[in-house]
Structures are given as structure tokens and as C-alpha cells.
Amino acid sequence: MSDEGNPQGAGQMQELTQLQSSILMAFNLGVSYHQQSGGLKSITEVSGELGHNIYTNLSQVYGNKLEDDYLRANTEYFLQIALLGYIIPSVCAYEEDFKNKLLSLIEKRALKTQEQMSGQGGPPGGTIVTP
């Protein structure tokens, strides 16, 4: 699938890079919330704040290009990742290898989901939007 002089797979590589970046940003958003609050906010409170923040960002990027249900589904996905970033520092010590492995596993699952949705005639690009 080579178009406009791009080598085969260049578009897929760019999508993967954007997906990895979006996952990392969501995770780091949760870590940042943990640091700012000292981990003292309830999960319910943090969930609402993070969810609103993520939905607002996606809405600004995609506006009317995507249906609201689609934006909400993506918000839920990235919220789950952000909550991991918020919770993990409270329950285990930091280890770079663990963080990298966790993010790698999240990316693999995301790619599998996108492949499944593309095969079912889902929206272009699968189910996960990457701002």
C-alpha cells in the first residue's frame, strides 16, 4: 500500500507512533494528577476530572468530525489508561522496566482492537483516535 511516494507501511508506522504517544500521554496525565494531589483524591473524583479533561481535548481536536458516542468511547479508553497512571504509584514502587512493559502491553491490546474493528467495517482507523 504505497501512496504519494511513501514506502509501504509508512502510514501504519505513523499511526503506531501516534497511538503510542496518545497512550503515553494518557498514562502520564494520570501520574501528573497523582503527583499534584499527593494521591489523596478519591478515584471517583479523579475519574471525573480526568474524564472531563480527556473528553475536552478530544472534542477540541475532532470537533464535529466524529460522532459524540465515538468520542465518549475513546474518552473511556484513555481514561482507563490515565487511571492506571494515577493508581500505580500508590500501590507499587516505580520501575522503568515495569512501566515500559505495561505500556507495551497496552499498545498491543490497542492494535488488536483496531484490527478487529477494521475487519468489522468499523470507523476508519479502528476504534481509537489519536490526537
pLDDT digits (tens, 9 = 90+) for 76-116: 999 999 999 999 999 999 899 999 999 999 999 998 888 88
pLDDT of 4 reads: 46
Average pLDDT, the chain: 85
- The whole-number pLDDT of residue 64 equals 83
| CA dist list (Å): 89 to 12, 41, 51, 96 | 33, 13, 19, 12
- Cα separation, 117 vs 92, whole angstroms: 34
Q: What is the mean pLDDT of residues 115-120?
A: 75
Most confident of 38-42, 47-51, 114-118: 47-51
Instruction: Give 12: exposed, middle or buried? Use CB within 10 Å, 0-12, 13-18, 19+.
Output: exposed
pLDDT score for 65: 87
Q: For residue 47, which amino acid is it?
A: S
